[in-house]
Structure 1
Amino acid sequence: MSRTKQLLKNTSILVVAKISTQVVNFLLLPLYTALLSTAQYGEVDIYTSLAMIVIPFLTLQVEMGIFRYFISCRDEQSRQQTISTGFAVIGVVLLLVTLIYILVSVCFPFRYSILLYFFYLSQTISLVLLQVCRSMGDNFSYGLSSFIASSLAVVLNIIFIAILRMGVEGILYAAIIAQVMSSIYMLRRTRVLSLCSWNSIDTSVCRNLLSYSVPLVFNQISSWAINYSDRIIILHFWGMSLNGIYAIANKFSNVTMTFFGMYNLAWTESVVRCIQDVDSVDYINRLFELTFKVYLILIIAIINILPFIFPFMVDEEYHDAYYHVPILLTAMFFSGMAATIGSIYLAYNKTKNVSITTTMAGICNVIVHFALLNYCGLYAASISTLVSFALLFIYRFIFVRSFMPLTCSPVRLLPQLAVLCVAWLAYVEVNYPLIFLGGLLNLYYVYKLATEHGAGLKAMFRRK
């Protein structure tokens, strides 16, 4: 199978699994906003947001090292060494963190301490097993397990929130049960435990895994600073209710994050596997420009559609979230493109460079947020997110050219960016004729993309 066919196949499997669940989640938004107060929704958002910074410390990002090195293994012994050593490192870290957590929770009791422990532990185990699925090239199991977890969580949320009225506690229970069931499925599907052996634990493999993975912990911390430090600042200065409004605004941009994230998983695997090919630079550059244009089309389409459906999906209490959505959607565009470049760093084993660029963007996010806090209020959060992701994209694009000649033509991309500005204006003014114009221009770029890249894609499909 050609590289592009494999990329699209993997992306399709992952996206279908995620998008189907996202649709269900959006249909349930009226239920959540009706039954949970803004304060409760803000509290849940804090717990889920903290997962992005808690889980990297629980695994040291060794699951990413397992993925990177497992797909390079050429024999059964090296696969056993990679899995056994990776699982051993994660097991030791989890044991140490568990002991510390027990001590802290006994000395400083806090609400939901037991539930939160299993909430983060279940997500950690599920995340590691998801990377194992990717390592084995079993993207079907990856997608299906994600669908199982998300769908089961939705069903349990309906039971626990709408029927049993358990509030925040019910959401935590639903998440734990869903992740446990998903993990059981992956264990049975991959039979990864059969690769685990005490005799296969290797110190040199351990050093390689940690050398690759530990820098990614700092990358995740910085990514969290960009994505979720805003929640902490909002909570401190504006309270739980406004955090709930900001969380609803992020729900819409998270749709694109889901698609971009699933595509990037498949893209990372494709880049790692093709990096030694003689035409890898040409292949990566073609797909990079195509990705840029497709991401813009998706963002513009969502901005054009939302004025029609937002009032029906979100309770009036959350209406202020409306004006943050286009800012956050544009931020997710730059985030997605930065992640696309980040995959090239990972393929070249330059995880330290990934961390450096993300750290710079994270620092920028916090500085801009505080600088705008007294002038822009809640908008400081969405604007700082946009600025930091835009700069992250620029940082990575500049730095990647030091080891890989990545190209991007501003002249070819600026007209499409102008259409994004039209969509923004139409959205804010709720100007339906202008929205219609933006939609027509976006459809023109869909047609143009198909005609310009059709021949190139067919050629890449035929290439083995």
Structure 2
Amino acid sequence: MNRKNKTLIKNIGLFTLGSFGSKILSFLLVPLYTAVLSTSEYGTVDLISSTASLLMPILLLSVFDATLRFGMDSTYKKADVLTTSLVIEIKGSFLLLIGIIAFSILFPSQISRDYLIFLFVYFVLGATSQIFNLYLKSKNQAAIIATSGIICTFITCASNIVFLLWLKFGIVGYMISNTCGVLFQILYQLFFGKIYEDIRFKSYSNLSKPMLEYSSPLISNSISWWVNNASDRYIVTFMRGVAENGIYSVAYKIPTILSVFQGIFYNAWSISAIKEFDSDDTDGFIGTNYSVYSFVSLIVCSGLLIINQKLAAFLYKGDYFVAWKSVPFLLFGTVFSGISQFEGSLFAAMKKTKDVAKTTIVGAGVNTLCNFIFVYYIGSTGAALATCLGYFVTWALRTKHIKECIHIKVNWLIHGFSIAIVLIQAVLATIADASLIQVVLFLILITLNKQYVKPLLNGIRKK
């Protein structure tokens, strides 16, 4: 095994420790949420967190992307990169605070003060967490990131039990719990990752100009990516009501399992993609990892589709159970979301931020148009289908660009057949259980990609 793969596998192992167990614990909290919170409450707080996610790239000018890219560039001092990022965050947070105060004065009865406070706190903590995570990643401190992730989830789980079950604070307890975990994560990274040593507000070289020249084109990319991720919830709320959005938001919990696997690999890959980039893909490093990553995404998606209704029966209580119908296309869309992010790291390595933004904008446009049409006719299931199409278009356009820029070594015929198999399965899983046929399709998928199965199992054993 060459050095590139050893480094990648080592980082995957560390991110697995930090993400897998913690995400599983979070996943197991879903029955608690669906038992304690009403569909309207869950739908409302989901919109608040989605709004915060939209505002981050706008108010902070997508500085997160520059934090990693410039942090890994030896031309710049890491302390200057970190401090510049935090200064931009402080300015953006101040603008949000002014906006919230103005909104509460002009429209005092439109939205609860608790929700506005949650929006601001969620924004500040989320932005700081992203900057710290990407900065530590640029310093190759994956172990600190992994440990802080475990701490975050433990605190979140514990506080959920205290505030929801013991103190019975309801939706307010849910909001407090989901900020406590991130706060402790930030504090751990600040001190144990020794980030405080690199924060130098009084004496640093301001890198705002080069960093924002790099990240500014990614503002539209981040907004468009948010459109693919979250705009469907606003459209469902507008056309079908906040209660149905609560049900639809819960449907995302099963695709989160696939996102965990993808996120673990992506965290490690985003480092290797920049550090080991080779446009000729001489040793097949890029092509092999693309193929294996795509296969794992498809096989996990296929397996989850088989047990979708059984998982839904365990996770979704009462009125939430109908959410299973939206899961199959959300799962299939998550496959393309993950592969698109994989390709996005290659664009970052080439510093082609405008190209990556264009692909996401087109995908977001398809998503939005289809959402208005499909939600009108088939409700939240239509939103899932629209989201899937948006991610598919983004992936297709990025793949086309990647093939033009990099001599990537991938068997596109097998890749295409594999996608078609899981598409058929997603359709079957939406209209009926059809477990037996799905199992057959799952086995065909494995057989078709058998050249990746043995190396994958060997790699897992070695870790």
* TM-score normalized with structure 1 length: 0.90
Q: Deviations over 1:394-429 (max 9, x none)?
A: 111112234323354332224433542454366343
Bigger CA drift: 397-406 or 430-439? 430-439
Counting aligned pairs with the same residue, the percent is: 24
Equivalence for 1:29: 30
Q: Is the 8 A contact 1:225 1:362 kept in 2?
A: yes
Equivalence for 2:128: 125
Distance in 1 of aligned mates of 2:59 and 2:230: 18
Q: Deviations over 1:215-245 (max 9, x none)?
A: 2222111011111111001111111111111
Distance in 2 of aligned mates of 1:424 and 1:97: 40
Equivalence for 1:81: 80
Alignment of 1:62-73 (within 5 A): 62-73=63-74
> Which one of 289, 292, 298 corresponds to residue 290 of structure 1?
292
**Which runs of 5 or more structure 2 residues have no equivalent in the other structure?**
none
Q: Is the 8 A contact 1:303 1:326 kept in 2?
A: yes
Bigger CA drift: 110-119 or 133-142? 110-119
1:195 aligns with 2:198: yes
Distance in 1 of aligned mates of 2:450 and 2:17: 23
Q: Is the 8 A contact 2:305 2:328 kept in 1?
A: yes
Alignment of 1:286-365 (within 5 A): 286-365=288-367
> Which one of 129, 138, 148 corresponds to residue 151 of structure 2?
148
Distance in 2 of aligned mates of 1:345 and 1:197: 31
In the TM superposition, residue 84 of structure 1 has moved relative to its aligned partner by 2.8
Distance 1:193 1:25, change over 3 A: closer
Q: Is the 8 A contact 1:145 1:185 kept in 2?
A: yes
Q: Is the 8 A contact 1:15 1:262 kept in 2?
A: yes
Distance in 2 of aligned mates of 1:108 and 1:354: 38
Distance in 2 of aligned mates of 1:271 and 1:252: 28
**Which runs of 5 or more structure 1 residues have no equivalent in the other structure?**
none
Equivalence for 1:183: 186
Distance in 2 of aligned mates of 1:378 and 1:307: 17
Kindly report structure 1 stretches of 4+ aligned residues shifted beyond 6 Å: 452-455
Distance 1:308 1:439, change over 3 A: farther
Q: Is the 8 A contact 1:80 1:195 kept in 2?
A: yes
1:90 aligns with 2:92: no
Aligned amino acid, residue 125 of structure 2: S
Q: Is the 8 A contact 1:249 1:321 kept in 2?
A: yes
Q: Deviations over 1:322-351 (max 9, x none)?
A: 121111100000111111111110111111
Distance in 2 of aligned mates of 1:452 and 1:151: 33
Distance in 1 of aligned mates of 2:456 and 2:243: 47
Bigger CA drift: 107-116 or 59-68? 107-116
Bigger CA drift: 404-413 or 324-333? 404-413
> Which one of 265, 268, 277 corresponds to residue 266 of structure 1?
268
In the TM superposition, residue 83 of structure 1 has moved relative to its aligned partner by 2.5
Q: SS of 1:197's equivalent? A: coil
Distance in 1 of aligned mates of 2:438 and 2:414: 23
Distance 1:69 1:425, change over 3 A: closer
Distance in 1 of aligned mates of 2:403 and 2:323: 38
Distance in 2 of aligned mates of 1:448 and 1:286: 11
Q: Is the 8 A contact 1:281 1:406 kept in 2?
A: no
**Alignment size in residue pairs:** 455
Equivalence for 1:400: 402
In the TM superposition, residue 443 of structure 1 has moved relative to its aligned partner by 4.8
Q: Is the 8 A contact 2:52 2:119 kept in 1?
A: no
Q: Is the 8 A contact 2:414 2:448 kept in 1?
A: no
Equivalence for 2:119: 116
Distance in 2 of aligned mates of 1:207 and 1:81: 12
> Which one of 138, 147, 156 corresponds to residue 141 of structure 2?
138
Q: Is the 8 A contact 1:84 1:200 kept in 2?
A: no
Aligned amino acid, residue 13 of structure 1: L
Q: SS of 1:401's equivalent? A: helix
Q: Deviations over 1:429-457 (max 9, x none)?
A: 323433443444355457542347789x8
Q: Deviations over 1:76-116 (max 9, x none)?
A: x7223322333333333333433343333333333122233
Distance 1:331 1:108, change over 3 A: same
1:224 aligns with 2:226: yes
Bigger CA drift: 417-426 or 164-173? 417-426
Distance 1:245 1:96, change over 3 A: closer
Alignment of 1:364-379 (within 5 A): 364-379=366-381
Alignment of 1:417-432 (within 5 A): 417-421=419-423, 423-424=425-426, 427=429, 428-432=431-435
Distance in 1 of aligned mates of 2:234 and 2:92: 26
Distance in 2 of aligned mates of 1:147 and 1:408: 35
Distance in 2 of aligned mates of 1:23 and 1:349: 35
Q: Is the 8 A contact 1:297 1:446 kept in 2?
A: no
Q: SS of 2:216's equivalent? A: helix
Distance in 2 of aligned mates of 1:398 and 1:374: 32
In the TM superposition, residue 281 of structure 1 has moved relative to its aligned partner by 7.2
Distance in 1 of aligned mates of 2:228 and 2:277: 30
Distance in 1 of aligned mates of 2:29 and 2:99: 37
Equivalence for 1:171: 174
Q: SS of 1:228's equivalent? A: helix
Distance in 2 of aligned mates of 1:54 and 1:25: 25
Q: Deviations over 1:5-39 (max 9, x none)?
A: 21122122223322212222232222221111111
Aligned amino acid, residue 326 of structure 1: P
Equivalence for 1:60: 61
Distance 1:115 1:45, change over 3 A: closer
* TM-score normalized with structure 2 length: 0.90
Q: Is the 8 A contact 1:229 1:366 kept in 2?
A: yes
1:8 aligns with 2:9: yes
Aligned amino acid, residue 244 of structure 1: G
Distance in 2 of aligned mates of 1:158 and 1:82: 38
Q: Is the 8 A contact 2:225 2:364 kept in 1?
A: yes
